[in-house]
């Protein structure tokens, strides 16, 4: 294990300088779904024959740009919906604010949502008043909210980026985790330590987490488990394999009987995927879904709508390369005859 040190100028600062210079020259394959506010980290689901998107809400911030993500100072959530691809997108306004979450102090990062028995559940990360990321849940009677938060975070939850998967047997699973600013590295021992300690490059990478949800959707019904991501030889991906190792943004979907676990590689700025035969994994690495976008972060979801599959993602083209001011986009996602996902290039 080693303690991570970084240079005086962060990766995020360097990326922003580069992206501001090239923002006007890129020819994107898709436009932002909305342009009156900045949105990121889209989690998409089909409810009531509409696509509902649960993004984070980027705002201007005086916080420093650094690799811990302090510049991502988001404080509330909006819900977007559309009933026709390429059609009008509705912003349903603020559906949950950090001031309405008793345990949360700041940084309402990437959320997700689920439906069960006519109720809708919004899952979200935030820092508590000790600076530790926890996962919370809020409930609504409609997919567009508004949502009312539970008074406490989910017991035994930690880190960021919850993603909820409903399996064919109507069991629900919560996937989560993110390194660097997402604090996953601080839980390697099972208890929180206020120090960033990482595996050496030749050691297995830190792993994302999963737990089945309780019947009431408000708790984990089992101990949190590791999600193993394997290489082509059946070995755990190594920490130094930055093009393939897990960084943040887990997502699970199912296609033709296979489970597809996808995620961001973080500092190599790719969305990649691995496949397996169980929602618990293990998952074997397969390839790249989305090449790097404009901006430091990349974060996604995948959903099927009216017989086609779509990738939901973000970049910072609308803000002219400001890495903390991002915009949600979508593009069709396709598979080859063997079930491999065809890599998407976000710019022509």
3-class SS letters over 190-201: CCCCCCCEECCC
- CA-nearest of 118, 168, 113, 24 to 312 is 113
The answer to whether the beta carbons of residues 303 and 312 sit under 8 Å apart is yes
Q: How far apart (Å, rounded) are the C-alpha atoms in residues 192 and 244?
A: 26
Q: 83: left (phi > 0), else alpha (psi -120 to 50), else beta?
A: alpha
Structure confidence at residue 10 (pLDDT): 86
- CA-nearest of 294, 282, 195 to 246 is 282
Task: Give tens-digit pLDDT for 176-230.
Answer: 999 999 999 999 999 999 999 999 999 999 999 999 999 999 999 999 999 999 9
Q: How far apart (Å, rounded) are the C-alpha atoms in residues 319 and 334?
A: 29
* Ranges of H-type helices in the chain: 11-22
One of 41, 58, 112, 241 is an active-site residue; which one?
41
Blockwise average pLDDT, block size 10, the chain, 348 residues: 60 89 91 98 98 98 91 97 97 98 98 98 98 98 98 98 98 98 96 96 98 98 98 98 98 98 98 98 98 97 98 98 97 98 98
Helix, strand, or coil here: 153?
coil
Task: Give tens-digit pLDDT for 72-92.
Answer: 999 999 999 999 999 999 999
Structure confidence at residue 1 (pLDDT): 62
Structure confidence at residue 341 (pLDDT): 99
Q: Is 248 a catalytic residue?
A: yes
Q: What residue ranges do the domains of the chain occupy?
A: 2-333
pTM, 2 dp: 0.97
Q: How far apart (Å, rounded) are the C-alpha atoms in residues 254 and 283?
A: 13
Pairing of strands 283-290, 229-230: parallel
Structure confidence at residue 252 (pLDDT): 99
Q: Which residue has the tokens 């980026």?
A: 161
In sequence order, what are the residues at sequence separation of 6 or more whose Cβ sits closer than 8 angstroms to the Cβ of residue 263? 208, 246, 247, 248, 249, 250, 251, 271, 272, 273
| Cis, peptide link before residue 40, omega less than 30° from 0 | no
Q: How far is CA 170 from the centre of its chain?
A: 22
Structure confidence at residue 8 (pLDDT): 56
Q: How far is CA 294 from the centre of its chain?
A: 17
Distance of CA 283 to CAs 48, 276, 277, 280, Å? 31, 5, 8, 8
One of 13, 19, 58, 248 is an active-site residue; which one?
248
The CATH number that domain 2-333 falls under is: 2.115.10.20
Q: How far apart (Å, rounded) are the C-alpha atoms in residues 237 and 216?
A: 35
In sequence order, what are the residues at sequence separation of 6 or more whose Cβ sits closer than 8 angstroms to the Cβ of residue 178? 159, 160, 161, 184, 247, 248, 249
Q: Is 41 a catalytic residue?
A: yes
The answer to whether the beta carbons of residues 267 and 11 sit under 8 Å apart is yes
Structure confidence at residue 211 (pLDDT): 98
Helix, strand, or coil here: 25?
helix
């Amino acid at each position: 294990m080693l303690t991570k040190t970084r240079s005086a100028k962060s990766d995020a600062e360097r990326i922003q300088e580069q992206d501001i210079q090239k923002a006007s020259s890129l020819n994107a394959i898709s436009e932002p779904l909305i342009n009156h506010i900045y949105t990121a980290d889209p989690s998409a689901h089909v409810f009531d024959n509409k696509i509902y998107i649960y993004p984070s809400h980027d705002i201007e911030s005086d916080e420093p740009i650094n690799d811990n993500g302090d510049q991502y100072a988001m404080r509330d959530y909006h819900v977007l919906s559309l009933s026709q691809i390429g059609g009008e997108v509705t912003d349903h306004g603020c559906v949950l604010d950090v001031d309405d979450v008793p345990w949360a102090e700041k940084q309402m990062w990437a959320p997700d949502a689920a439906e069960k028995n006519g109720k809708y559940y919004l899952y979200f990360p935030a820092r508590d008043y000790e600076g530790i990321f926890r996962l919370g849940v809020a409930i609504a009677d409609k997919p567009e909210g508004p949502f009312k938060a539970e008074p406490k975070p989910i017991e035994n939850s930690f880190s960021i980026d919850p993603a909820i998967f409903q399996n064919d047997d109507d069991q629900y699973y919560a996937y989560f985790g993110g390194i660097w600013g997402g604090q996953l590295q601080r839980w390697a021992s099972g208890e929180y330590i206020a120090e960033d300690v990482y595996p050496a490059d030749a050691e297995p990478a830190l792993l994302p987490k999963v737990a089945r949800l309780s019947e009431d959707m408000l708790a984990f019904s089992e101990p949190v488990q590791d999600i193993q991501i394997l290489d082509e030889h059946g070995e755990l991906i190594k920490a130094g394999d930055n093009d393939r190792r897990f960084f943040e943004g887990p997502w699970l979907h199912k296609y033709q009987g296979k489970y597809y676990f996808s995620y961001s590689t973080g500092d190599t700025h790719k969305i990649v995927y691995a496949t397996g035969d169980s929602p618990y994994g293990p998952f074997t690495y397969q390839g790249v879904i989305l090449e790097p976008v404009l901006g430091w972060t990349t974060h996604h979801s995948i959903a099927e709508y009216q017989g086609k599959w779509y990738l939901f993602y973000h970049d910072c083209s609308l803000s002219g390369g400001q890495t903390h001011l991002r915009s949600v986009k979508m593009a069709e996602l396709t598979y080859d005859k063997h079930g491999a996902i065809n890599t998407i290039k976000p710019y022509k």
